[in-house]
Amino acid sequence: MEFIAKDNRYDRMQYRRCGNSGINLPLLSFGLWHNFGEVDDFETDREMVRFAFDQGITHFDLANNYGPPPGSAETNFGKILKKDLKPYRDELIISTKAGYLMWPGPYGDNGSRKYLLASLDQSLDRMNLDYVDIFYSHRYDPLTPMEETMGALAQAVRSGKALYAGISNYPPDETMEAARILAEMGTPCLIHQVKFSLFRREAEEQLATVLRKKMIGCIAFSPLAQGLLTDRYLDGIPADSRAGKPHGFLKVDQITPEILEIVQKLDQTARSLGMSLAELALNWVKSHDFITSVLIGVSTKQQLEINLRILNLPNFSPDQIQTINSCLSEST
Ligand SMILES: NC(=O)c1ccc[n+]([C@@H]2O[C@H](COP(=O)([O-])OP(=O)(O)OC[C@H]3O[C@@H](n4cnc5c(N)ncnc54)[C@H](OP(=O)(O)O)[C@@H]3O)[C@@H](O)[C@H]2O)c1
């Protein structure tokens, strides 16, 4: 299988500087939370990853528990690396995380040094890598001293098993504290991975202020609200959709008539602007100044093709953002 774009793949993508670091991330990053497990079709996965890389998407985001079963997304990504991307390792940013339940007993969950460092070794084994580019604490653990969790990230970096440290799902005050400790340890916090979409706007408030102040990059996950902010559910629940699958994290009861009413309104707004709802939702995220990269999931190459169209869209102006926001609040 040949790559199509080859050397001009980087002309197709835009890159943004990640916080106060030397790393540029692609405007769109590729997440493997869903659609890359043992239950999914490997050749489809391989085609999507190859296509993404061919379009200049250099950043692939994983976690220890992605699957199902947990771990299988890393195993599958390791196979794709071996088959297709191994010669390009120095052109890739590969991230993984630990923080949610991964194995039984007291040491396979939360924020201990024991869990994070053992998990990182397991992730490297599954992907057959010597190092990941970014290692994240996947969530804030109030029961573990912050020094211990950040110390584990710093040790991962010092040992060479990770190049950068990141945090995910940390509240604003805890983000500030984590950044302070990591900086003291000489391994500054590169990035915060946060849920951010038209439906989840909390990050716009204090967290964005903290990230700007500390010059930490921000990557927005679930920017399409797992597919709700697309045309996926406008005519019911397709069997091959996330909500239609038994293992999907999006549940049918989350797709309420109230949500669908908002989605319909946003879809009409998108059409009036000459774009699809997915494009509107992604462009809304990318238009915020604290966002470094928009971290999408896709189940088909065609979805990725649509999402890549935002590269040709100018950022929404503050007025346009306001119009879109108000259309949302009028409906709620
Ligand atoms: N740090 C964390 O705690 C955390 C949590 C969640 C996610 N993440 C990361 O963020 C990544 C993205 O999350 P996500 O998958 O929830 O993101 P998302 O982009 O909000 O949702 C992805 C889903 O939207 C649908 N979709 C995408 N493009 C579409 C298009 N053009 N038209 C119609 N439908 C489209 C697909 O649904 P169908 O599958 O139904 O086709 C796809 O699986 C994850 O893979 C993971 O890397 C991190």
Contact 242, 226 (CB under 8 A): yes
For residue 31, report the distance from its CA to the centre of ligand 1, in Å. 7
Six-digit token pair at 63?
A: 């976690």
Question: What percent of the chain is predicted at pLDDT more than 90?
Answer: 92
pLDDT tens track for 182-212 = 999 999 999 999 999 999 999 999 999 999 9
pLDDT (0 to 100) of residue 45: 98
pLDDT tens track for 108-143 = 999 999 999 999 999 999 999 999 999 999 999 999
The C-alpha angle with vertex 175 and arms to 171 and 177, in degrees rounded to 5, equals: 125
Give the model's confidence band at 330: pLDDT under 50 very low, under 70 low, under 90 confident, else very high: low
Give the model's confidence band at 327: pLDDT under 50 very low, under 70 low, under 90 confident, else very high: confident
Give the model's confidence band at 4: pLDDT under 50 very low, under 70 low, under 90 confident, else very high: low
Query: How many residues would you count in the chain?
Result: 332
Half-sphere exposure of 48 (CA within 13 A, CB side): 27
The C-alpha angle with vertex 10 and arms to 7 and 14, in degrees rounded to 5, equals: 170
Mutate to test the pocket of ligand 1, among 232, 251, 252, 294 (most ligand atoms within 8 A of CB): 232
Residue nearest to atom 10 of ligand 1 (CA): 221
Residue nearest to atom 13 of ligand 1 (CA): 222
pLDDT tens track for 42-81 = 999 999 999 999 999 999 999 999 999 999 999 999 999 9
Contact 134, 190 (CB under 8 A): yes
pLDDT (0 to 100) of residue 322: 87
| CA–CA distance, 102 with 51 (Å, rounded to integer) | 30
For residue 319, report the distance from its CA to the centre of ligand 1, in Å. 27
81: three-class secondary structure by DSSP:
helix
| CA–CA distance, 265 with 145 (Å, rounded to integer) | 45
For residue 308, report the distance from its CA to the centre of ligand 1, in Å. 14
Give the model's confidence band at 332: pLDDT under 50 very low, under 70 low, under 90 confident, else very high: very low
For residue 229, report the distance from its CA to the centre of ligand 1, in Å. 10
**Prediction pTM value:** 0.97
Contact 134, 102 (CB under 8 A): no
For residue 18, report the distance from its CA to the centre of ligand 1, in Å. 21
Residue nearest to atom 29 of ligand 1 (CA): 303
| CA–CA distance, 44 with 71 (Å, rounded to integer) | 18
**Ligand 1: which residues within 6 Å by Cβ?**
31-35, 61, 138, 168-169, 193, 221-227, 230-232, 241-242, 278, 295-299, 303, 306-307
CATH entry 3.30.310.50 includes domain 6-331: no
Give the domain ranges of the chain. 6-331
| CA–CA distance, 284 with 269 (Å, rounded to integer) | 12
Phi, psi of 7 (to 5 degrees): -70, -20
